[in-house]
């Protein structure tokens, strides 16, 4: 899941696409207009099967972000993204997803809050400063990679999600 708008996250999303892996871009404006994006995304996820990692993201180019901020407000736009991804993470974990890579500092906070994560056990690093962490939640044990926007090589998403499956 990606909510970060950093240049590195956008590179990582592009690399994920280039690998031919399934991805879904969330329409934040549609969600704020009342479309049930948090209901549609889990259905999309289910349709992908469990053989490949998938990417669900709300990250946007600087131009797209400016357009969303113009419509929602500079402070309100990231709040909508965080709430959307937090709710979506909760839906997916409720569907037995047990491994999440979360790109974005604020997004990571929103996801861990939505999942009720109180503490994590830090595991092996997938990249400098980017470890897998492990948490017990009411919905089960989870492996989480929580990272700020500019961490990891351009292939971090594909490598981290395919190497340790």
pLDDT in tens, 16-34: 999 999 999 999 888 888 8
The Cα 122–Cα 119 span in angstroms is: 10
The CATH code that applies to domain 7-163 is 3.40.980.20
Q: What is the pLDDT of residue 165?
A: 47
Contact predicate 65/80, CB 8 Å: no
What is the reported pTM? 0.90
Q: Is 19 helix (H, G, I), strand (E, B) or coil?
A: coil
Q: How many CB atoms lie within 10 A of CB 35?
A: 12
Strand order in the sheet with 130-137: 99-103, 140-147, 130-137, 121-127
Q: What is the pLDDT of residue 19?
A: 92
Q: What is the pLDDT of residue 150?
A: 87
Regions of the chain with pLDDT less than 50: 165
Q: What is the pLDDT of residue 144?
A: 97
The Cα 69–Cα 75 span in angstroms is: 8
What are the residue ranges of helices labelled H in the chain? 7-18, 28-32, 37-48, 62-72, 76-94, 105-115, 156-163
137: left (phi over 0), alpha (psi -120 to 50) or beta: beta
C-alpha separations of 49 from 8, 17, 34, 45 in Å: 28, 17, 27, 7
Dihedral over Cα of 97, 99, 101, 107: its sign: positive
Q: What is the pLDDT of residue 164?
A: 57
């Amino acid at each position: 899941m990606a909510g970060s708008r950093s240049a590195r996250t956008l590179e990582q999303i592009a690399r994920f696409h280039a690998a031919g892996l399934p991805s879904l871009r969330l329409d934040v404006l549609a969600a704020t207009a009342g479309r049930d994006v948090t209901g549609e995304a889990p259905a999309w996820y289910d349709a992908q099967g469990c053989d490949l990692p998938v990417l669900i993201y709300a990250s946007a180019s600087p131009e797209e972000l400016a357009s969303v901020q113009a419509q929602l407000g500079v402070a309100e736009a990231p709040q909508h993204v965080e709430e959307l991804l937090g709710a979506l993470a909760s839906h997916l974990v409720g569907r037995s997803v047990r491994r999440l890579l979360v790109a974005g500092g604020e997004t990571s906070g929103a996801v861990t809050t939505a999942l009720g994560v109180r503490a994590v056990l830090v595991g092996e690093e997938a990249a400098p400063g980017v470890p897998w962490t492990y948490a017990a939640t009411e919905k089960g044990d989870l492996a989480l990679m929580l990272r700020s926007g500019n961490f990891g090589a351009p292939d971090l998403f594909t490598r981290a999600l395919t190497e340790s499956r």
